[in-house]
Chains A and B, each alone.
Chain A
């Protein structure tokens, strides 16, 4: 509190800076052409499916890596349905949440709830295809890998991998006019035995290498288009594509299932430059792997390859040139760090496949969503009106400060919600709106603490102008600690709660922070400015700062001789 001018200049400057920040936020909104917050499904209609993952073996909680892997798998399943704007996120340590904005979800529920399994299968036919038009995926989708390296599996030696070169003849799968390969029969037989839909009727891993494709298998292979559901059963043959949908394969029954894997890791072996993926099987898996690789090594390309299949997609199809004993193998090829790590993670997932339980499905029609939004907005407006009404009744002229502060806090909250929707995909849901409404009370409360403190200071015998300053000094700590308490509850809720509640906690936390900012950089400077006006500073009638309302005889401090306001101001400056 130094000279007169600095005291005068600072509050105004603070307010101006605050408005510049606010204007900047709205500028960013204008730049992104985003004027409304992203709405949660409970406000615009749609389906939320919450899945709880547990290990198929032992039933414990999954590791973070395998949960992330599960998320990726489910994301791909949902994307394959071709519904736009789906979002798949992990939540907590074992939930995967799928949100779909449209309402045809019966099939979706069935699809996402299946357990994904990892299998190793012998490869019989590989054929490049034109990828179908990719379905619209949202930006949060997992990064689609580049073409999967078709490397080589070796016991430990490192040979250059034969790169699979796409054949020139591609067939537009998107139009369903797959031209049959010349060696294959074109007319499908009139009647085919339906394929088994449950395991137990096929070949066990030890007999898997004895399987040979029949005519039916070739026809299925012809007719299959990437993106079709595969109906994968581990002891049955499979027609599947790679993840990118650029190649389709005819595969035999599983030679090894993923749960036989013990570890998988990515790394660069000593004295080498290229990334490889190491895998290790348990004794039984090692035995199976050795006999399968022995059988594969004797064949010609592409039949000397085996496919690593996860959830109906071929992830990698390395070739084998010799039997691999000892249960340890190394897949080398054109890996970089990312692709090697990705493959290793997928293999790890296979070691601990997750089962999903559909914990919660909640479906809201667009009509109901709109109604909920309307109710939320109405509640907010009623709440604001009530608070403003009470402020007018109790604080008279000072209600201007309450209203302006709430308006500024509201503008900031709105801008932040919109921008967070744009940047991190935060969606405002009904609990979120409730959080914002609850926060009106919290925000208003900071002013009450401050105003009451100013009144107290005046009662202690200070002049109004110094009461604003000392009242602020004394109420600041109370405001901070009380906001800290509500911030703490918001953070704890956000971290620990599940489902829609996160939205509530997030908005509550956000508004608490903004409340602090508004009280510090708007309400307080505004009070300092207002108290300099004649209307407020002299406690005129209707200002809410009348002497009798505060219960004192006069507002110019303890020494009650009539003084001109100018000298009172100087006294106040000296006092502070």
Chain B
């Protein structure tokens, strides 16, 4: 992170403020190669995990029966229950798994059973073993083709949602590139989340699938907010003398606090879901949703800052308009001679024709933000403070 701060009278001001006015600035866009590589590595690991280990699918996808009954869990609970299930007289129960949830529930998962004959028998066996009433044994039974249907519907929903949202963002920003960048970031989150599921071995249930769709919403939402600011900053690009990449980076820095806040505020209730689902219930939709949302939201915040915006910049750099603008700035810098770097032209020499107060602020800030662009590095005087007193702008002199 290249950041430059100054030690003037602004030391009191908050982190948020310093980010906003560009006193403190992280060069997100300039280091985009790093993020791409990082994400690439993570996604590669995720894909390998997915191919090698696969997802551990819940019984909803494969079909099967799941019984849950209340009991005081002891060291013998699982063995006793397994013996009872084996002696139940229901055929082919070798693959039945018995687990405990927390310290008050025992769970038996088997192949798909016949609803009329085998299920009542199993419930009786379990109830007898635990000494509870048959109706205390909760169960769910899922037919084999049901999971296929759920998956299919889920995937259809996913595709429909992505297409609609792409169109929506395109209409909102009137910029196809923005919607492509947003969707790429979303796909990135999706892969990452599935990969983490495969890596850690969390059970993938229909609730997880739903969570995935919700994440997509969240991730996009985050990206939309960043892009909104990018659009605002670059509205008067041609009349200003700042590179697109610099403005986009400034936008990211300006909404960074909001992104962090949003993620924290969004994750807090989800953490509550996880706590309740995991520690109180031990299983079920609360835990599944909580888990996938937790993973996905963090990924979403990361991608909206480090993936979506840099991608947008990369795509924008190919637009003739932007190219022309960049070239004119480069020429300018060369005309000024080697005493000033292109960067400093970018951020310091702003004048009246810029109506955007952001740029004035930017100009007013004692040390401009340093942007590392991809072009050949120009001479930098030094990395630290200026030695000579700086020519101050009008707005600063007024104060």
A-side interface residues toward B, CB under 8 Å? 50, 52, 92, 103-104, 106, 109-110, 113, 357-365, 367-368, 371-372, 374-376, 378-384, 386-387, 390-391, 394, 430-431, 433-434, 437-438, 440-442, 444-445, 448-449, 452, 455-456, 459-461, 474, 477-478, 481-482, 484-486, 488-490, 492-493, 495-501, 504-505, 508, 548-553, 560
B214 touching A437, Cβ below 8 Å: no
Q: Which of B16-24, B306-314, B366-374 contacts A (4 or more CB under 8 A)?
A: B16-24
B145 at the interface (CB under 8 A from A): yes
A438 touching B115, Cβ below 8 Å: no
Residues 140-164 of B contacting A (Cβ, < 8 Å) = 140-143, 145-146, 149-150, 153-154, 156-157, 160-161, 164
B140 touching A362, Cβ below 8 Å: yes
Task: Tell me which residues across on chain A come within 8 A of B20, comparing CB atoms.
Answer: 455-456, 459, 551
Given the known interface contacts A375-B281, A452-B257, A460-B357, the answer about A361 and B115 at a Cβ–Cβ threshold of 8 Å is yes
A380 touches which of B153, B272, B358 (Cβ 8 Å): B272
Residues 187-209 of B contacting A (Cβ, < 8 Å) = 206-207
Q: Which of B28-36, B131-139, B234-242 contacts A (4 or more CB under 8 A)?
A: B131-139
12 interchain pairs, CB-CB under 8 A: A52-B145, A358-B143, A380-B272, A391-B265, A434-B273, A437-B273, A438-B270, A441-B270, A485-B168, A499-B150, A501-B206, A551-B16
Tell me, rounded to whole Å, the shortest Cβ–Cβ distance linking B186 to chain A: 10
B328 at the interface (CB under 8 A from A): no
Residues 276-292 of B contacting A (Cβ, < 8 Å) = 276-277, 280-281, 284-286, 289-290
B228 touching A365, Cβ below 8 Å: no
A493 touches which of B149, B157, B255, B272 (Cβ 8 Å): B157
CA distance A440 to B168 in the complex (A): 24
Given the known interface contacts A378-B280, A497-B157, the answer about A360 and B264 at a Cβ–Cβ threshold of 8 Å is no
Given the known interface contacts A449-B258, A496-B153, the answer about A551 and B18 at a Cβ–Cβ threshold of 8 Å is yes
Task: Tell me which residues across on chain B come within 8 A of A560, comparing CB atoms.
Answer: 399
Tell me, rounded to whole Å, the shortest Cβ–Cβ distance linking B29 to chain A: 20
Tell me, rounded to whole Å, the shortest Cβ–Cβ distance linking B397 to chain A: 13
Task: Tell me which residues across on chain B come within 8 A of A106, comparing CB atoms.
Answer: 115-116, 119-120
B140 touches which of A360, A387, A452, A548 (Cβ 8 Å): A360
**Nearest neighbor of A429 in chain B, beta-carbon distance:** B285
Tell me, rounded to whole Å, the shortest Cβ–Cβ distance linking A535 to chain B: 20
Tell me, rounded to whole Å, the shortest Cβ–Cβ distance linking A240 to chain B: 23
B355 at the interface (CB under 8 A from A): no
Task: Tell me which residues across on chain B come within 8 A of A382, comparing CB atoms.
Answer: 269, 272, 275-276
Number of residue pairs across A and B with beta carbons under 8 Å? 250
A492 touches which of B68, B139, B161 (Cβ 8 Å): B161
CA distance A297 to B145 in the complex (A): 49
Count of B interface residues, CB-CB < 8 Å? 84
B168 touching A484, Cβ below 8 Å: yes
**Nearest neighbor of B356 in chain A, beta-carbon distance:** A460
Task: Tell me which residues across on chain B come within 8 A of A104, comparing CB atoms.
Answer: 135
B213 touching A478, Cβ below 8 Å: no
Interface string of B108-130 (1 = CB under 8 A from A): 00000001100110000000000
Task: Tell which of B18, B150, B214 has the most Cβ of chain A within 10 Å.
Answer: B214
CA distance A508 to B269 in the complex (A): 14
A390 touching B280, Cβ below 8 Å: no
Task: Tell me which residues across on chain A come within 8 A of B17, comparing CB atoms.
Answer: 455, 459, 550-552
B221 touching A109, Cβ below 8 Å: no
A459 touches which of B21, B70, B224 (Cβ 8 Å): B21
CA distance A110 to B154 in the complex (A): 29
Task: Tell me which residues across on chain A come within 8 A of B220, comparing CB atoms.
Answer: 485
B257 touching A485, Cβ below 8 Å: no
CA distance A390 to B143 in the complex (A): 45
**Nearest neighbor of B232 in chain A, beta-carbon distance:** A474
A387 touches which of B68, B258, B269, B281 (Cβ 8 Å): B269
Task: Tell me which residues across on chain B come within 8 A of A460, comparing CB atoms.
Answer: 357-358, 361
CA distance A488 to B221 in the complex (A): 11
CA distance A358 to B261 in the complex (A): 46
Q: Which of B7-15, B48-56, B336-344, B378-386 contacts A (4 or more CB under 8 A)?
A: B7-15
Task: Tell which of B60, B168, B224, B270 has the most Cβ of chain A within 10 Å.
Answer: B270
CA distance A251 to B317 in the complex (A): 82
CA distance A525 to B51 in the complex (A): 54
Given the known interface contacts A109-B116, A430-B284, the answer about A485 and B165 at a Cβ–Cβ threshold of 8 Å is yes
CA distance A348 to B141 in the complex (A): 32
> Given known contacts A452-B261, A485-B224, what 10 new A-B pairs fall within 8 Å (CB)?
A379-B276, A382-B269, A386-B271, A386-B272, A387-B268, A438-B289, A461-B357, A474-B232, A489-B161, A489-B213
B228 touching A478, Cβ below 8 Å: yes
CA distance A551 to B262 in the complex (A): 21
B361 touches which of A459, A478, A495 (Cβ 8 Å): A459
B221 touching A358, Cβ below 8 Å: no
CA distance A495 to B142 in the complex (A): 22
A375 touching B286, Cβ below 8 Å: yes
